[in-house]
Amino acid sequence: MNLPIRPRRNRRTPAIRALVRENVLTPGDFILPLFLHEDAGDTPIASMPGVTRWSLEGLVKEAGEAHALGVPAVVLFPKIEEDLKTPLAEECHNDDGLVPRAIRALKAAHPTLCVITDVALDPYNSDGHDGVVRRDEHGQLHILNDETVEILCQQALCHARAGADIVSPSDMMDGRIAAMRAALDAEGFQNVSILSYSAKYASAFYGPFRGALDSAPKEGDKKTYQMDPGNAREAIREVLLDEAEGADMVMVKPAGPYLDIIAGVRECTTLPVAAYQVSGEYLMIESAAAAGWVDGKAIALESLMGIKRAGADMILTYYAKRAAQWLAS
């Protein structure tokens, strides 16, 4: 055949493929989500095989092992005791609460580790929602936006006082980035970054996560504040608003089913873009691998590469530690 152009020449050997590779995964791309609780022991999470709910001691150890493998950051998700949950989620800004103590322990043990905290009310709210719940005269459930934002600002300040490097609001309330930035700056925390869950969809892929935290809504759903999965342009609107309000980084959640959203967000902002490979994505891979239907390692790494290729600068993934080990082998 008379073919002057043969693309396969660029795929001929491992060395050539390495030279022309457009995207490369490294441990530095990953953020490891870590679950924690008050118990003295570490507990496997039934809804997420291979994932653990950590004691403070176990948390520090696990974070240290991941950091030694090159993972630069962790993000914390607490399981709060039922007797501490209230309609106004007061425990979320308790300076002696579980998350502030965890932040202090992590920063003391691993000073170079980046500690990110989730800012949202659902682990602390007796209603299980990301915001304050009220009923109108007809019994209709409403999530109050502005009242919620005031509490979120107190939560962010609590985390900043404990030493968090980045606060990450996942609530999807309107205006919370501007309010949080103003609150942090007013208290002298100008160097604490905000990683905003800018495009967080009302997704069925979150199911196993809510089991891990026991934080599912007691009534209703989250569709009045999390985004409709059918909408793409709305994600751009949310990202641009958060950028204008002072976000330092933006996030798309979930990741795998929303690669088009990640790509669109990457095109519209110069801010770093994060993507969260959520519990449902993780569980599907783990379940298929456990059944022997797929190569779990290969599928996990390929899924992470797809997220990076779509435009993510950083990936929140339960595979962070294992992926770092795989990449080193």
Binding residues for Mg(2+): 238
Rounded CA separation 108/324 (Å): 23
CA–CA gap between residue 159 and residue 144 (Å, rounded): 23
Neighbour tally for 300: CB within 10 Å = 23
Strand pairing report for 43-44 and 52-54: antiparallel
The active-site residue, picked from 79, 85, 222, 253, is 253
297 catalytically annotated: no
Closest C-alpha among 42, 109, 123 to residue 77: 123
DSSP code per residue over 17-34: HHHH-S----GGGEEEEE
**Catalytic, out of 85, 200, 222, 308:** 200
Assess contact for 282 and 209: CB atoms under 8 A. no
| Binding residue positions | 238
In 3D space, the residue among 237, 250, 247, 243 whose CA is nearest the CA of residue 276 turns out to be 250
Distance CA 184, CA 191 (A): 9
- Looking from the CA of 128 toward its CB, the CA atoms found within 13 Å total 13
Indicate if 200 belongs to the active site. yes
Give the residue numbers marked as catalytic. 200, 253
